[in-house]
Structure 1
Amino acid sequence: PVKQNGIKRSETGESNKSDKTNGDCGANGANGIGGLVRVPTTKPPVFEPQVGYRQWVAQAGTLIADLLTCAGADHVITMDLHDPQYQGFFDIPVDNLYGRHLLRKYIQFNIPNYLQAVVVSPDAGGAKRATAIADSLGMPFALIHKERRPTQINDRQNATMMLVGDVADRTTILIDDLADTSNTITRAAKLLKKEGATQVVALITHGILSGDAIDRINASALDKVIVTNTVPQAEHKARCPKLEVLEVGNVFAEAIRRVHHGESISVLFDYS
């Protein structure tokens, strides 16, 4: 499919977000900046909790970075970029805050006997993120390996999944940076329950939840899905009783304050 501006979407299938979500995020961000830079005394950093077009091909990512810069942005603050290399598209400073500290705190205070639970990465690409949380809390770790067979590019059902680790009779905690169609986490939950997990909780930074993702979660083996509000969640929460939302506004507010006053934001990468 092609956007109205002629930019083709990446053909990576399950990770792409809806046209509306991406378009609104990029265009609205640029429009907001334009309105602010017309006031000479106001030069705020761009507040982009979940950067639109993040999973697009490099050409489109560069275009959006240039769009924000040309609109007047001189600093971007975001959280959990799907690919940290996205920062290289910008010619201005980009601070990529971590959401894993919020997820870690949720585990500590909301998962009973969390030290007996197992942190699970739903794919190999997210293993580093999940192990960082598991290691910081002294929890066991498991990995779901996906093997994609050579079939049609959009046929996602032909990826076989294999669990590496033991989850029998334990609570399992899926860690991922984003959920769009929710195919990955719902299929992972089904596998974990099949392998003997007593409960499956998914902790996600960016809950895009496009299309029929909410219906898929409601019908899945997932017991809870925890997301942050880097993406508005009011509509999703009204339709999904399994959904809980973590507030990230205070983290971004402190980052904006520190940038505005020329202070270091390094402390925000280690907050507890």
Structure 2
Amino acid sequence: MPTTPEPKLISGNANLPLAKAIAKRMSMHRGVNVGLVDARIERFNDAEIFVEVYENVRGEDMFIIQPTSNPANDNLMELLIMADALRRSSAQRVTAVIPYFGYARQDRRSKARTPISAKLVANMLVGTGIERVLTMDLHAAQIQGFFDIPVDNLYASPVFALDIMSRFKDDMADIMVVSPDVGGVARARELAKRINAPLSIVDKRREKPGEVAEMTVIGDVKGKKCFIVDDMVDTAGTLCKAAEVLMENGASEVHSYITHGVMSGPAVERVTKSVMKNLVITDTIQPTEAVKGAPNIRILPTAPVFAQAILNIWNGTSVSSLFDNETLEPIYEGIFAKI
């Protein structure tokens, strides 16, 4: 049971709008004002990071909201230094809310003499005294095993399913869920089960990183509205090529539902010029003005699910209950109609 009156939130600079939205949602749930703890995060002339917390946090249940997105190293160091500041200020418990977990793509040794950076980051987080991690759609689910502390990995697929059923309720018979590679089949299958749709796969073969040599569609997509599902979109090269291949194989429309919109380099331009009708991402990474201004990119909010997950952790109740539509629908009631 909680020993403090309310959970306390603190945010770094990585995604302040998301942190404020989470605080607002928690205020609505609790019926009391839940604000962000007043603090300053500055950089010295040599780019060293300095953190000062202005409020008393002794004995408090603290939640640090900080995705480790671009610039990944700066945002990771902010998170570590904030955690150290809170531990040294006698916070009762520190939970890291990391909507986007950077370095997750380095979860294994793909070649000789390469690091497992995701494990190194996990060790650093635990070493600062963080006692729990809350994240969304880890690139590889086994990263949870890199930590010796509890890790709650939320999924975007229930939110995607609600959005699809809201927007395409008259076309559900024509929908085909597509995994952009063999490794993402489990993620795509999860969404397909939720909306009772068939599953197809785009098999890709790379000659070298960043280049797609060949793509083959496994499954009949002719006349189908195809929904590509993945955990992140970076430069969008593979995604746009997969959309082209699906259209060449007879798909009527291609939409993409991607959790983390990294959107680096030429990504926005590629998506804007692509055959995709819509790219739907979440706000786990703060979108740039270019992303927000793109005509065929929509952004789904994650604040409702993160706010409820934080309250469940604070109350000692189930986080996995948020994977059920019955729990999630009231949290997102009326939101999809506005997006």
Q: TM-score, normalised by structure 1?
A: 0.85
- Matches for 1:172-251 after TM superposition, within 5 Å: 172-251=226-305
Residue 76 of structure 2 aligns to a residue whose secondary structure is helix
What is the distance in 2 between the residues matched to 1:120 and 1:268? 24
- The answer on whether the counterparts of 1:53 and 1:61 sit within 8 Å (CA) in structure 2 is yes
Map of 2:189 onto structure 1: 131
1:25 aligns with 2:25: no
**1:52-108: CA deviation from partner (whole Å, max 9, x where unpaired):** 111125432122112112222100000111111111111111111111101111110
Alignment RMSD: 2.0
Map of 2:211 onto structure 1: 156
Residue 44 of structure 1 aligns to a residue whose secondary structure is strand
Q: Percent identity?
A: 33
Cα distance, 1:235 vs structure 2: 2.4
Residue 31 of structure 1 aligns to a residue whose secondary structure is helix
Quick one: which of 157, 165, 169 aligns to 2:223? Answer: 169
Map of 1:108 onto structure 2: 165
Cα distance, 1:175 vs structure 2: 0.7
Change (3 A) 1:118 1:45: same
**1:121-148: CA deviation from partner (whole Å, max 9, x where unpaired):** 1111111111221122221221111134
- The answer on whether the counterparts of 1:229 and 1:246 sit within 8 Å (CA) in structure 2 is yes
Letter of the structure 2 residue corresponding to residue 26 of structure 1:
L
- Matches for 1:6-25 after TM superposition, within 5 Å: 20-25=70-75
Q: In terms of mean alpha carbon deviation, does 131-140 or 67-76 score higher?
A: 131-140
1:68 aligns with 2:125: yes
- The answer on whether the counterparts of 1:230 and 1:248 sit within 8 Å (CA) in structure 2 is yes
- The answer on whether the counterparts of 1:25 and 1:51 sit within 8 Å (CA) in structure 2 is no
Letter of the structure 1 residue corresponding to residue 241 of structure 2:
R
Q: In terms of mean alpha carbon deviation, does 179-188 or 259-268 score higher?
A: 259-268
Quick one: which of 83, 87, 96 aligns to 2:144? Answer: 87
Map of 2:204 onto structure 1: 146
**1:19-74: CA deviation from partner (whole Å, max 9, x where unpaired):** 94322332222122223223214523110011111112543212211211222210
Change (3 A) 1:28 1:218: same
Change (3 A) 1:198 1:21: farther
- The answer on whether the counterparts of 2:177 and 2:192 sit within 8 Å (CA) in structure 1 is yes
1:46 aligns with 2:96: yes
Letter of the structure 1 residue corresponding to residue 102 of structure 2:
G
Residue 221 of structure 1 aligns to a residue whose secondary structure is coil
- The answer on whether the counterparts of 2:240 and 2:276 sit within 8 Å (CA) in structure 1 is yes
What is the distance in 2 between the residues matched to 1:146 and 1:247? 31
Change (3 A) 1:43 1:213: same
Cα distance, 1:229 vs structure 2: 0.8
Cα distance, 1:115 vs structure 2: 2.5
Change (3 A) 1:223 1:83: same
Q: Which runs of 5+ in 1 are unaligned?
A: 1-17
Q: TM-score, normalised by structure 2?
A: 0.69
Residue 134 of structure 2 aligns to a residue whose secondary structure is strand
Q: Which runs of 5+ in 2 are unaligned?
A: 1-67, 109-115, 329-339
What is the distance in 1 between the residues matched to 2:319 and 2:142? 20
What is the distance in 2 between the residues matched to 1:119 and 1:166? 11
**1:137-171: CA deviation from partner (whole Å, max 9, x where unpaired):** 221221111134xx4x34614x2111112222221
- The answer on whether the counterparts of 1:181 and 1:210 sit within 8 Å (CA) in structure 2 is yes
Map of 1:118 onto structure 2: 176
Cα distance, 1:261 vs structure 2: 2.3
Change (3 A) 1:90 1:236: farther
- The answer on whether the counterparts of 2:203 and 2:216 sit within 8 Å (CA) in structure 1 is yes
The aligned length equals 251
- The answer on whether the counterparts of 2:235 and 2:264 sit within 8 Å (CA) in structure 1 is yes
Cα distance, 1:236 vs structure 2: 4.0
